[in-house]
Structure formats: structure tokens, C-alpha cells
Structure 1
């Protein structure tokens, strides 16, 4: 007998055997079968078995009793909050399958609000992060610790740009000196002088930019790692944490740059040889194909080793070990990390350009021959142009450094949370009580 309320289907057969509580004398049917109550309605006295009453409701019209309880009957208890009603598509009715208090209303799962949210002692929640959370964490670090972050970025950018302006002002101020490179009638001495000036200026600028990037990355890595724990940090504390690893970080970046130069340059050598000794067009085509192949390999390795810098700074690893750690963390997530890094670079470049371009335009207007002289290459890049454009470059770097460094550090932390449960260690370091006893909240899009 199915005694589950609301689940007995209409028109089902009556239960076998006498109903509980049936009373009255019984008499045998034919002496061989069980006795039947003499006064049972619907029983044929001839002994042919039970028959249906002629007064039955129409088929498929059964319904649960909804009237008031009879005398001596207690009212039914109200539906509990667990088996609630309101299942979409179910029949409505008080206490029924789909009505208030029924099977699918807000009661069945309303008390369970999902897993608790992850702890967030700092700028990010301690769980696997989505793309927006990584970008927001970098911006939140810059906004929350703006004195330290912008102070570091501004100091490094000012020192960098001052050296660049001095080098360009004394060694590369005259744009007309490079015209010998485009003049087919220029003498060998003029070409040599123009090339030496170009290489000197470009080399010094890139070296200064490299050193400034290393220092800014080291300091901002320390700041971001503290920001994840919600702990305040000053520039002095960040330098104290980063100083032992600065030389290793410089060596790491130099090694990666040399690898990129080798990977792009070596595949072009066969094409250059062919162009010099044989077919010039075929050699150029071969060199271009080799260079493109080298660029693809360089890009792949650049993303593969993109987390080596925070691994070196935060784990106090050596150069080779940090590269190995980065390759392990990136494995299986190359496209995701590439997309996030590219998005961060685009955002930083756009913000930097918005600030740099107006200064460059003003500097061009105030220079000796105006914008036309700069465009035609006949003007003199004077101190006015260098100083004004340098101010724009300082502001641009001050904004771009925290974004790119912050995204890289948060990507490193996110990958370690996904692979090594780093969130447990971070929670203990941040002083979060009873972390890890409940399931973390859902992860947004990654």
C-alpha cells in the first residue's frame, strides 16, 4: 500500500485484504476461501467476489480532500519548510505538488544558500580567480596602496626618463644626422657616424628601461604580495623584501632577452647567406620566413616563462629554478595566460598613450620647426621637446608599471591556488580563522 501523500495516482486498484478497522461478522464464501464481512458494501452475496459500486465518481476526477476536518478529527499539520512547494510546472494547490507548501515551492532548497563566499583578507578572494578579478586586483592594489605603488612607479619612471632625456639631448638631438642612412650618396664615414649614434642612443635607452623595469617589478611584486594578505607595506619594506633578489631578477630578464634575440636572429642567417651569395629575392623570403618562425617560438617561450619573475621574487628561487617553476605553472593554461597578459598590456598601453600623446603633441608644437620638422626629419629635437615629451612618458610609466606587474603577480598566485592550494597558506598567513572547513564559493568565468 502506497501511503505517500499526494503520490497515489487516481483510478488505482483498491488494496488487497480487509481494510484496517473493518468490523462485523463474516461468513465464508464457498468454504474454501477467506471469510468476507457480511455487511461489506459492494460484495455480491452469491459469492462471486467483490464488485465495484455503481455510484462511483467519473474517471480522473479524484482530488485531495480540502474541506474542514470532521468532528473529532485534528487538523492536518502545516507543511514543513523542507519539502516546500512551487515546483514550476506542477499542479497548484495548498500543500499539493506544486502549490504553496508543496514539493517544489521555495521551501525545499530555500534554506541552503549555496557554499559560503571565499575569504577576502586583501585585494582578491582566496580562490581561483576570473579574468575580471585579476584585473580588478591589480587596480585595487594601486588604489588601496596608492602612496606606495605610485611613489615607487613615479620614482623609477623619473630616474629612467631623466637618463633617457640626457642621453638623447647630448647624443641624438639632431634628427638630420640620421638622414645619411637614407641618402644613397652619403659617404662611409657619415653612414658609420649615423649608425653609431643610433645604436648608442637606442642601446642606452633600452638598458635604462631594462634596469628601471627590473626595479619596478621587484618592488611592486613585494607590494602586491602584501596586498593579497591585506597587510600594509611601505616602499622601504618593499625594498627590504626585494633587495636580495634584484640581481637575480636582472639576470633572469637579461637571459630572456638574449634568448629572444637568438631565437629570432638565428633562423634568419640562412636567408641572409643566400641573399649575399645567390638570389637576393629568395634569400630575403627565406630570412623573413625564418624570422617569423623565430617570433612564434619566442612568443611561446615568453608566455611559458612569464611567471618566472614572481616565482623568483616570492619563492626566493634561482634563475633556472624560477624558469622551471613558471613552465610548470603555465603548463595546460598557456592560452589563458596569454590572453590575460595580452589584455593587460593592451589596457596599460591605451592608458599610457592617452597620457603620452597630448604631451608629445604639445612638445612638437613648441619645438623649433614645429610638427612639420619632426615629420620630415629636418627639425632639431631640442630640450623643450625632450623635456615635455619626457613628462608624458613619466606619467605613462607611472600608470602602466603597476598594472602589468600586478597582473603578472596575481596570475602567479592564481595558478598556485589552482594547482597547489596556495589559498590555505595565504589564509593562515592572513590570520583567517577556520579557513578550508567549508567549500569555497563558485568561481566566476576564468
Structure 2
């Protein structure tokens, strides 16, 4: 008998052979967006679409709120970096004829560029961590068929953001370690080859090694792909989440890799279709305004207005398409996590037990109509 240990438990299997010999089992219960049984490909993709359809307000609300905070912060970082080195830009990129940029101007630009890269990486990573924490939190409620609110999802996402950010960092370091090791050898050899210290043949061999390292990176990335869902749904730490993902993926790597790849392709195609009308409208608005622009004159106020409107339309289209692309890919991974736990750990019984324990009492159930007495059948254990 399966032990119902909740979302965080690692109980026994669920399902088994049909009772009473050859009788067909009853349909699996479905309190939410997926039936509580091992899922087929269509049900995994359908469950992801159903979650977006039922909880689009929570997903879009939190994601757009995150972008409304992250994008201005990144713009301020870029503006501050440009302002700090503004006087060094012209001497480096447009020096007087016959002269070369000096270290006095080059070094500040390199330092500012490196600092800006780190700041943008950290800011974007934190925003992505919030979105990555949001999708499993919404999916958990969707699987159980429970309503939720933007405020509750925002609070849950922020609470799990530091742990999700740590998981993403560890995943990047672990999965990217083969590629980073190859690049750490390749770049010094490239510089040495340029100075004549290393034969070109030694450098040519490195892309071959890179081709060997790339499949290892893909293999590790897939092994750790379910870690964010495990972390948010089970309330565990980053290292434990990585171990849980590796355990759940073991024996099903090709299936999970293929479904994640297919989900990413579907998300990319639909997000492109979402963004396309915004880009077309923006471009069609600019073309007539540019045609009416007097030759040799500066931009008119109408032209500037059209350009601003077109830019805002394209920005809105990019934001909406990104919301779908990030949300759908994360939801596919989350449904895969639920599916693997249903297959291996009895999560279906645990979900039903949790729903039964949280359902408010509504009084005694009405008595069923009397039926003719039937011979008592043996009870399965």
C-alpha cells in the first residue's frame, strides 16, 4: 500500500495491476489540470496549456510586474555606466587620425564594461529566478484544482527566489563545467598561437574537444532540469533539489530531454507569433512617417512620436511573448516533475490525501438509495 507522505515525501509507487484480474481500472481522478496517473506527451503539453489558460492572470501579473522592475533597473545600470565613462568613449572609438587609443581611456572602458556585464547578469538572473519560482508554485495549485491569487503567488515566488537563484547558479556551474574547462584551455592557446608559441594544429584540435564537451553539458542540464520544480513544490534546499532531479530523471533521460526540447520549440514558435503582429504594426507605422519626412531635414515631432509608439509596441510584444515563452517552458518541466513523481513515488495518492484533509466539512453525506443485497466480495489488501 502506498504511503501518502505529501508533496515533499518520497513514498512508494502508485498504480499497479488492475484489481479483480482483468477488470479495467476506473478513470484516474483529475482535480486539476492533469489526471493523477502517468501522463502521455499530449497530456503533459495539454496540462501546461491548461495551467496558462486557468491561471493566466497570476502568471502574467507577476511576470509583467517583475519585468516592470527589472527593465528600468537594467536601463539605469546601463545609463550609469555610460555616464561614468562618457568622456573616454570618443578617444577610444573615434581617435584623431593617425593616433591610437591610450591606456588612460581604454582601461576605464574595460572596467566599466566588465562591471556592467556582471550587474546586468545578476539583475537578469534575479528576475529569472522569480519567474522560475512562480511557475511551479502556480502549477502546484493548478494540479490540485485550487484557486489562487496574484498576491499569494508573488509572495511565494519572492520567498523561494534566493533558493531558486542558488539552484540556477549551481546548475549553470555543474552543467557548464565541461564547456568552461575547454574554453579555459582554448583561449590561452589562441593567444599563444597568435604570438607564434603554439602550432595552429594544437588550436584546431580544440573545437573537436568542444564537440565532445557539448553533449556532456546537455546530459547534465537534462539531469538537473527538474530541480526548480522540486525545490518550490517540496520546499527543499538547492543541493537537495539537484539530487532529487537527478534521481527522478534517472532511467527516463531521453523521454524528458525530448519533451523539454519539444516544449521549448513550441514555446519559441508561439512566442514568435505573438510578437510578430506588434513588430509589423510598429514597422507599418514607421514607413509612412519616414516617407513623409522632408529630405535633408531633421526628424519632425510627428516622426519622433511614431518612432516612440513603434518602439513601445515592439517592447510590449517582446514582453508578452517572453511571458509566454518562459511560462510555458517552465510549466512543461513542472508537469514532467509531477509525472515522474506519480510514476515512482505515489504522488497521486498523496495529492488526493492532501485534498481530502483540507476539504471543509459540509455535513453528513446523503444516504445512497437502497439496493438489493449482493454477495460480499473479498476485500483487497
Encode CA deviations 1:233-265: one digit per residue, 9 max, x unaligned. Answer: 112222444444321111111222233444312
- Residues 160 and 208 in structure 1, CA contact (< 8 A), matched pair in contact too: yes
The residue number in structure 1 matching 2:338 is 413
Pick aligned residue for 1:294 from 213, 222, 227: 213
SS in structure 2 at match of 1:232? coil
The question of 1:137 aligning with 2:47 is answered: yes
Alignment of 1:22-37 (within 5 A): none
The equivalent residue for 2:322 is 397
**Counterpart in the other structure of 1:233:** 148
Counterpart of 2:4 in structure 1 is none
Question: Tell me, what secondary structure is at the counterpart of 1:431?
Answer: helix
Quick one: distance in 2 between partners of 1:228 and 1:141?
A: 8
1:158 lines up with 2:73 in the alignment: no
Task: Decide which structure has greater helix share.
Answer: 2
Aligned match of 2:3 = none
2:10 — aligned with what?
none
User: How far apart in 1 are the matches of 2:329 and 2:341?
Assistant: 19
Which sections of structure 2, spanning at least 5 residues, go unmatched?
Answer: 1-21, 291-306, 360-378
Among 166, 169, 179, the alignment partner of 1:254 is 169
CA distance, structure 1, for counterparts of residue 69 and residue 286 of structure 2: 24
C-alpha displacement of 1:422:
1.0
CA RMSD of aligned residues (A): 3.8
Instruction: Report the equivalent of 1:326.
Output: 245
Query: What secondary structure, in the 3-state scheme, does the structure 2 residue paired with 1:121 have?
Result: coil
Residues 113 and 260 of structure 1, relative CA distance in 2, 3 Å threshold: closer
Rate the CA distance shift 1:202–1:143 in 2: closer, same or farther, 3 A. Answer: same
Aligned counterpart for 1:350 among listed residues 269, 272, 278: 269
Matching residue of 1:82:
none
**CA shift for structure 1 position 343:** 1.1
User: Does the CA contact (< 8 Å) of 2:130 and 2:158 recur in 1?
Assistant: no
Which 10-residue stretch deviates more, 253-262 or 186-195?
A: 186-195
Larger Rg: 1
Contact 1:269–1:287 (Cα < 8 Å) also in 2: no
| 1:290 CA drift (Å) | 3.2
Report which stretch shifted further, 393-402 or 265-274: 265-274
| In 2, Cα distance between equivalents of 1:296 and 1:314 | 29
How far apart in 2 are the matches of 1:239 and 1:392? 23
**Displacement after TM superposition at 1:322 (Å):** 1.1
How big is each residue's C-alpha offset from its partner over 1:130-149, in whole Å with a ceiling of 9 and x where there is no partner? 11111111110111122222
Give the equivalent residue in structure 1 for 2:16. Answer: none
Q: Provide the residue aligned with 1:64 in structure 2.
A: none
CA distance in 2, matches of 1:263, 1:364: 46
Q: Which structure 1 segments of 5+ residues have no match? A: 1-111, 371-382, 440-446
1:407/1:257 CA distance change after superposition, 3 Å: same
The alpha-carbon deviation at position 150 of structure 1 amounts to 1.9
Q: CA deviation at 1:350?
A: 1.7
User: Taking structure 1 as the reference length, what is the TM-score of the superposition?
Assistant: 0.60
Once residues 158 and 333 of structure 2 are traced to their aligned partners in structure 1, the CA distance between those partners, rounded to angstroms, is: 19
Secondary structure of the corresponding residue to residue 282 of structure 1: helix
The 1-side partners of 2:255 and 2:181 are apart by 29
